[in-house]
Amino acid sequence: MSRVVTLGEIMARLATPGFARFQQAMPGRVNVTFAGAEASIAASLAHLGIDAAFVTALPQHAIADACIADLRSLDVETKHILRTAEGRLGIYFLEHGANQRGGNVIYDRDGSAMAITPASAYDWEAIFSGCEWFVISGITPAISRNAAEVALTAMQEAARRQIKVVCDMNYRTKLWRWEPPLTARDLATRTMKALMPFVNVFVGGVSDATAMLGVEYRGDLLALARQITAEFPNLTHAAFTLRDGSTSAVQCFSGALYEAAADTLHTAPCYPITQIIDRLGAGDAFTAGLVYSFLQHSNPQAAIAFATAAGCLAHSIEGDYNYSSRDEIESLMQGDGGGRVSR
């Protein structure tokens, strides 16, 4: 079986109940789960039957133990997770948006184990043994200078072994703060341009591409894809998540996949989503669906259709992880999106 490795930070996610504002919910109860882009991708892949491993650094305490147990319960391989004497578990606080009010995330990640553990602490030979695909996001190098160095080392180690590298850009303006006085955008662009030569598959939204790669978008997605792949010739594909939303609760979700060798842009249907249970993690589900399709040797049109349907269904599931099955995803691809009860 093909093996996929993902690397990044996993955190405790503290979400207010329902659509309560932070001030309404605290002091009081919050919903605690575990979350992080690369962990979410690994969980989605494992749920689809792929041999998926997640690599990170976590402190030595009972909450980190619970985090690893949660990943293992999802059949994610965790044997290369480092347990460190220094550093803490990162946290993010989430307030869901509703109607015209957008959601809000507050990060508490400074000094986390992932942020401070050096690249030399990881056993790259063991981590990448039998690996066919490596997935990382633009969130990891945004955490700290050290995490950016870990990301670079991991991508170099993967590329040296001819492992295909996928980067889900995920621009987070609140995180790129580790080299003042550079702005978040300038730091992200400088850092990601140094990482992109090792990437084979770009994944992101249009805003991710413009913010992190310094490219211009003039309303022509094909031209944007050509511009990215021309600048970074190691790219074989560029995949885009596309959203058209009037409010926090109503979105139209779609995707597109550019195949550089054929100079062809493949597009997926736009799925109207009128009730968003949880938007976070939809992009991770999209990326996982894309990698899954590549592992199945799907043609590009089938790959983007599967990835987009997976991302669509993730909006219906609370938490960052996508628990949609292959049958559910393929059923939506075939037009069964009526939400009927299965019985």
Would you place residue 99 in the very low, low, confident or very high pLDDT band (cuts 50, 70, 90)? Answer: confident
Would you place residue 2 in the very low, low, confident or very high pLDDT band (cuts 50, 70, 90)? Answer: confident
C-beta of residue 289 within 8 angstroms of C-beta of residue 306: yes
50 pLDDT above the threshold of 90: yes
User: Residue 254 sits in a domain of what CATH number?
Assistant: 3.40.1190.20
Pairing of strands 264-267, 251-259: antiparallel
- Residue 331 phi/psi, 5° resolution? -65, -40
For the residues 227-256, what does the mean pLDDT come to?
90
For the stretch 312-343, pLDDT in tens is 999 999 999 999 999 999 999 998 765 564 54
* Residue count (the chain): 343
Cis ω for the linkage preceding 269 (within 30 of 0): no
How much is the pLDDT for 98? 86
In which region does residue 111 sit, left (phi positive, over 0), alpha (psi from -120 to 50) or beta (all else)?
A: left
User: Whole-prediction pTM value?
Assistant: 0.95
C-beta of residue 239 within 8 angstroms of C-beta of residue 202: yes
Query: Could you tell me the CA-to-CA distances from 6 to 155, 283, 328 in Å, in that order?
Result: 11, 15, 24
For the ranges 140-149, 271-280, 284-293, which has the lowest average pLDDT? 271-280
Angle of the 300-314 helix axis to the 326-333 helix axis, nearest 10: 110
Residue 80 lies in a domain: yes
Would you place residue 247 in the very low, low, confident or very high pLDDT band (cuts 50, 70, 90)? Answer: low
Residue 340 lies in a domain: no
How much is the pLDDT for 342? 57
178 pLDDT above the threshold of 80: yes
Range of the structural domain that residue 266 is part of:
3-333
For the residues 281-301, what does the mean pLDDT come to?
97
For the residues 64-91, what does the mean pLDDT come to?
98
Residue 343 lies in a domain: no
- Evaluated on CA atoms 62, 64, 70, 76, the torsion sign reads negative
Residue 338 lies in a domain: no
How much is the pLDDT for 341? 46
E strands, the chain, in order? 3-7, 11-15, 31-35, 51-55, 57-59, 82-84, 91-95, 104-108, 131-137, 164-168, 201-204, 237-245, 251-259, 264-267, 271-273
Q: What is the mean pLDDT of the chain?
A: 95
CB atoms within 10 A of CB 244: 11
111 pLDDT above the threshold of 60: yes
Residue 269 lies in a domain: yes
26 pLDDT above the threshold of 80: yes
Residue 208 lies in a domain: yes
For the residues 150-159, what does the mean pLDDT come to?
98
Residue 329 lies in a domain: yes
Share of the chain above pLDDT 70, in %: 97
CA distance linking residue 289 with residue 216, whole number of Å: 27
Question: Total domain count for the chain?
Answer: 1
Would you place residue 245 in the very low, low, confident or very high pLDDT band (cuts 50, 70, 90)? Answer: confident
Residue 339 lies in a domain: no
Task: Map residue 318 onto helix, strand or coil.
Answer: coil
Amino acid at 130: G
For the ranges 133-137, 243-247, 295-299, which has the lowest average pLDDT? 243-247
